[in-house]
Structure 1
Amino acid sequence: MSATKERRKTLRQLLLSGLGGSTQAQLADALAERGIVTTQSTISRDLKLLGAQRRIREDGSFVYRLETGGRTSFPSGMVLAVEFNEVMIVVRTRVGRAPAVGIELDGLRHPDILGTVAGDDTVLVVPRSTRHIERLARVLIELAELA
């Protein structure tokens, strides 16, 4: 497993377990305790990609959390490739998995995604604008853990 995938997997586990922290520095420390040294800016990008949000606890303190029905359920293991050109993005999936991937992509409510069309093993991602297509493709590649 790549260092990026391992870091995100560990961060995801920390957030789901509630053992994360209230600051990105605390998350960096928690990752370091598990042998993963990283920077605050990398954690910030990972938190955004994972869909983590800062929530208030009953005691009034804050904690970064993931909701189990949110982006944490993205079926990255189903995605084989993400390709794009000047006008569209194509997500190739395992046979029969495109509908599930399409539903998750729609559920992201990403501002650059207008919609998706899913077949059996391919999802067509329709961008809101072609100006940001490469940036959106990079987000999908990271989300699918292909980077």
Structure 2
Amino acid sequence: MNKEMRLQTISKLISEHEIKTQEELGEWLNCSGLQVTQATISRDIRELKLIKVPSKDGTPKYSFKMDQDHFIFEKLRHKLKDALIGMEVINYFIIIKTLPGHAHAFGALLDSMDIAGKAGTICGNDTCLIICRSPEEAVSFKQQIDLLQA
């Protein structure tokens, strides 16, 4: 079996099963008729850009980055609902005011998201400063956050 078919098989297995370790993935591949080494599995995981996300029971499992993006968006949506006080665009910046102690959580979520125009975040106790690359991108970024609140 060629590499492309092996990667497709791994993608299918990850989509259909909660696979938590490389050893478990190797067992599934073996059951699918593929004999692969741990080194090959490790390279395939890197090439597919698989990441670990919480499974239904809370233990880490392999997943695709797009699943992680959905997970992050959902966490941000809940955080916006639970702790956001206000948001304001000033030139290149977006200032997010939160309940005390929540700004760092906003910053961590926003930093993990790949949103065009965002250069980075700086957070205190109740304020998160998002630095954008242009005033237009700051407005666009805020609009994207506003859509999450809808």
TM-score in terms of structure 2 length? 0.48
Structure with a larger share of its residues in helix: 2
TM-score in terms of structure 1 length? 0.49
Larger Rg: 2
